[in-house]
């Protein structure tokens, strides 16, 4: 989801997350069509879930 290899550093993960969430955050689409905002919300949820999974796995390791 974040477009990273398994051996990506913590910094790379953080940068990829911030770049993608900034791109797909629904608040950036104010005034856009409802369908587009809903797609952005779904994508932002997926990005957050992927980031949370990575952080959780790295804390366990």
Does the structure show a pLDDT above 90 at 18? yes
Q: Span 44-55, mean pLDDT?
A: 95
What pLDDT is stored for residue 20 in this prediction? 95
Q: At 57, is the pLDDT very low, low, confident or very high (cuts 50, 70, 90)?
A: very high
Here the contacts of 9-18 (C-beta below 8 Å, separation 24 or greater) are 10/58, 13/51, 13/54, 13/55, 17/47, 17/51
């Amino acid at each position: 989801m974040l477009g990273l290899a398994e051996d990506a550093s913590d910094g790379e993960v953080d940068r990829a997350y911030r770049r993608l969430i900034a791109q797909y955050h629904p608040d950036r689409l104010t005034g856009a069509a409802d369908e587009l905002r809903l797609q952005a919300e779904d994508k932002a949820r997926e990005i957050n879930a992927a980031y949370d999974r990575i952080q959780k796995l790295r804390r366990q390791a």
